[in-house]
A and B are shown apart, each in its own frame.
Chain A
């Protein structure tokens, strides 16, 4: 069965420091991979996505992610965090099934930013 693991429940970084959020997935075929961000009391917004091509993808708000097939990972990075990046981040996998398409989310990583 497909699954997504975000090992860190929460992470605290100082403003201006670099950030890496981890995501590991389990899926037999090539997955569709996504990172979404959820600000407090809001819905989710797509940061970036990957299905094929260059394994380093650029997203909005200065985020990037790298797909590593050998490690089944899709980690999210940002070189310099801003206070406005404090939010919850979700990694997701899209998986084709017979006649359908499921989306599986990780449990999320809450990012705290120190001034």
Chain B
């Protein structure tokens, strides 16, 4: 089944404790992206990747890192999480960037205390 998977689905952590949210797609998509969703703000793009080893900042990259060493994986790293990073995170992928549907993962709800 074609899908985007994220892990974990739910995470509660404390300020400053490094964490990684994994994202994997099995559709051989080139374009992958991370978003955060907050009430009243919609989805905001954190980082995106046009292809392997090619990543770039979205609109809200501060406090996040990503890597794209393999085509299927695009982990999101929070080196030192803070409470303002409490949010619902979505990973998405599309065949290529442009006029292509993005397929979204199920979301990861992160709480930083």
Contacts and interface: CB of A to CB of B under 8 A. Distances in A.
Majority SS of interface residues in chain A?
strand
A101 B59 CA distance: 12
Interface stretch (A12-20, A71-79, A103-111): A103-111
A105 B34 CA distance: 13
A99 B54 CA distance: 10
Contact of A100 (B50, B99, B104): B50
A4 B92 CA distance: 19
B74 interface: no
B62 interface: no
Contacts of B90: 43-44
Interface of A: 4, 6, 9, 32, 34, 42-46, 49, 51, 90, 92, 94, 96, 99-108
Nearest to B40: A107
A55 B60 CA distance: 32
14 contacts: A4-B42, A9-B40, A43-B90, A43-B104, A43-B105, A51-B98, A92-B43, A94-B98, A96-B97, A96-B98, A100-B50, A100-B56, A101-B48, A102-B59
What 8 A-B pairs have minimum CB-CB distances, sorted nearest first? A101-B97, A43-B104, A107-B42, A105-B43, A51-B99, A46-B101, A105-B42, A100-B56
A51 B112 CA distance: 39
A34 to B, nearest CB: 8
